[in-house]
Amino acid sequence: MSVFANLGHVLRSRDPAVDQRRAGRDLVDMVSHVTTGGRTHGIRIINISALGLMGRSDSSFMAGERVFVWLPFVKDVAAEIRWIEDGRVGMEFLEPITPEIYDAMLGLIPPRRTAW
């Protein structure tokens, strides 16, 4: 038996999003913006699902903060900041995006050519 055989829990514990997702994510590459407290912040969306997204931003957010993120086709979507780590931010939409609308929206977002 390898010494590394049972270290999966260590790798998972370093990424707050691992094993907490309820839906698969699509890799995308889209610049957008988040509005909170009357201010607008830039964000680069890295992956997205009908339930939420992960992006990169230089702005400071707080876990639990309610925001609006602009997405094509659906416009300003209400979301809650679930986690922040090293310039990445995870958001959960307050209402899931329906499959039909999600497919239409995804058709307007450039896919990511490489993973992070």
The enclosing H or E element of 30 equals: strand 26-36
The pTM of the full predicted model, rounded to 2 decimals, is 0.77
Residue ranges and CATH numbers for the domains of the chain are 23-106 (2.40.10.220)
79: β partners: 67, 93
Position 115 pLDDT exceeds 90: no
Position 6 pLDDT exceeds 70: no
pLDDT per residue as tens digits for the range 80-95? 999 999 999 999 999 9
Are 33 and 41 within 8 A, CB to CB? yes
Burial class (CB within 10 angstroms; exposed 0-12, middle 13-18, buried 19+) of 104: middle
Position 12 pLDDT exceeds 90: no
Q: CA-based angle 84:29:93, to the nearest 5?
A: 50
pLDDT per residue as tens digits for the range 14-39? 445 455 556 789 999 999 999 999 99
pLDDT per residue as tens digits for the range 62-83? 999 999 999 999 999 999 999 9
What integer best gives the mean pLDDT of the chain?
85
